[in-house]
Amino acid sequence: MGKRKNQYLPNPPIEEIEPIIRELFQMQLNDKQILDRLLEEHIDRSKYGLGLTKFRAIKKEIGLLGTRSQKHTLESINQPIKDLRKRFPKAGVQDMKMNLFHERGMCVSRSLISTHFLVCEPKLLEERKAHRLKRKIFFAAGVFDMVCVDQHDKWLYLGLGLHTGVDPFVGRLLWINVWWTNKNPRLICSYYLDSVEGNDNFMPLVTQSDLGTENFGIANAQTVLRQWNDPRLEGSIQHRWMREKKNKGVTEGWYDTTRPLDVLTFCWLFIPWLQTELDRWMYRVNNTRKRADRNKILPHGIPNDINKYPHRYGCLDFKVPDPEALKFVREEFATSTDPVFELVPTVFGHYATEVYGDMGRPALNSDNIWSVYRDLLGRLEELHSNMVSKEYVEVVDSFCVDQPDEPAKVDLMEGSNLLGGMENPNPDGSYYMGGLNGGQGLGMCTGSQC
């Protein structure tokens, strides 16, 4: 009698599904949710099969342990929470759960973290109370209906300019970048174009920002890309303008924002480190389910998951396939040769890198960065005093610490504005800010327009 053939299909190769498992695990989906997603979206079920027991064995094999398997206690989470509290002093239960998972690889239940807070941080619990917000009705039609961009200027006196872009329908951060300025339209445009490339070359229907000239580059680039993709949009601007606008080292005297060497050293050390921290924070936010909100009608879920699988949430997907216009638009509105893309002058960067190497290239964190900065600054001051290089001294002495009021000028394209918006609300007070049907939304589009 011959050997009986196995009635079950073979399991898919681990190397093919491991990246997907890790990606979904980072979204903190449970085992059944991950398995369902694999079977429905990624595994050819005519060739392979996978059951829950085998899936859990694979998950354990690649080192992904869940809350029950890690078996944390009040004692095991006490010190990690104390360490994270230094960096995230206002984190509540949900934020601390997210930080423990993404920063320490610890899967901890909400109930255990809540118990820790009650026992160890009773005063902080009293302080973390929600403030009443004045609500307005806002709606978007679907994923990538619009992308909103904004800058944060409160750190500019330190020489740090923040800028961010978000898909408000999903609540997904597309970028949050720090540089020595956030006023240059070519720099800001490059953030947007990098985001398009990083999202599989998809662009939104429209972009949105305030009226600042730093946003002219994004407005022009978005308009050209959309018109290139859809010639019917020629003569119209595919950007919506918002016409209404709603640190220890400095206090200790370690960083003088009027001294060129201080500013150069600060930028060279802090900006890359801060960008890494911001990237990690954005990754955590985009892979974490938002708190339930009964007033929200937009989809509830994990931003990255909604963005990648909008059909699973009953959402429309308005990502516009990018034509081969991206290279042209980048050269036109965000050319890489612009001086704004230089972190510090090349000569200074060379000496800073050399000195940092002599220091042993210490790994930076929030506890040691100011000490490293002071040590690095002292060594670079010594090079300056000893005149080790005439070119180095000239670069430092000639560096202007004040940002120019008028960076590289970019003229705004001409064309008709989008319809809808805050200026044209619906009878119930709601308003549509996206780009569907020329800005009028789903309710006004018919037939092929939809």
For 303-316, the pLDDT digits (tens) are: 999 999 999 988 88
* Burial (0-12, 13-18, 19+ Cβ within 10 Å), 216: buried
Number of structural domains, the chain? Answer: 4
Q: Is residue 279 part of a domain?
A: no
| Interatomic CA distance for residues 157 and 430, integer angstroms | 38
Identify whether residues 232 and 171 lie together within a single domain.
yes
Same domain? 184 vs 316: yes
416 and 364, same domain (yes or no): no
Judge if 241 and 317 occupy the same domain.
Answer: yes
> Which pLDDT score, from 0 to 100, does residue 405 have?
47
C-alpha angle with apex 284: 278 to 290, nearest 5 degrees?
120
| Residue 441 included in any domain | no
Place of tokens 């081969």: 324
232-245: pLDDT as tens digits: 888 889 999 886 54
Q: Picking from 61-70, 338-347, 396-405, which range would have the lowest pLDDT averaged per residue?
A: 396-405
Q: What is the mean pLDDT of residues 199-223?
A: 90
Q: CA-based Rg of the chain, rounded to a whole angstrom? A: 26
Q: Is residue 208 located within the same domain as residue 237? A: yes
133 pLDDT higher than 60: no
Same domain, 80 and 215: no
Same-domain check for residues 44 and 175: no
Establish if 226 belongs to a structural domain: yes
pLDDT at 246: 45
Q: What is the pLDDT of residue 119?
A: 86
CB-based contact 222:238 (threshold 8 Å): yes
Say if CB 9 and CB 48 are below 8 A apart. yes
pLDDT the model gives residue 450 = 41
Domain-embedded: residue 59: yes
Q: What is the pLDDT of residues 254-266, one digit of tens each?
A: 898 889 999 999 9
pLDDT at 131: 47
pTM: 0.78
| pLDDT at 6 (0 to 100) | 56
For residue 21, the one-letter residue type is: I
- Predicted local distance difference test score (pLDDT) of residue 138: 63
- Tell whether 215 and 186 lie within a shared domain: yes
**pLDDT band at residue 4 under the 50/70/90 scheme:** low
**Does residue 276 fall inside a structural domain?**
no
* Residue 123 and residue 20 in one domain: no
Instruction: Give domain status of residue 191, yes or no.
Output: yes
pLDDT digits (tens, 9 = 90+) for 78-99: 999 999 988 888 888 888 999 9
Residue 106 placed within a domain: yes
Q: Are residues 215 and 162 in the same domain?
A: yes
Dihedral of the alpha carbons of 67, 72, 77, 78, in degrees to the nearest 10: 150
Same domain, 59 and 182: no
pLDDT band for position 137 (cuts 50, 70, 90): low
Q: What is the pLDDT of residue 61?
A: 93
Q: Is the pLDDT of residue 446 over 50?
A: no
Provide mean pLDDT across the span 426-446.
72
Q: Are 186 and 300 in contact (CB under 8 A)?
A: no
CB 28 within 8 A of CB 37: no
Domain residues for 30? 14-64
Are both 302 and 376 inside the same structural domain? no
**Beta-sheet pairing, 142-143 with 316-317:** parallel
In a domain, 209, yes or no: yes
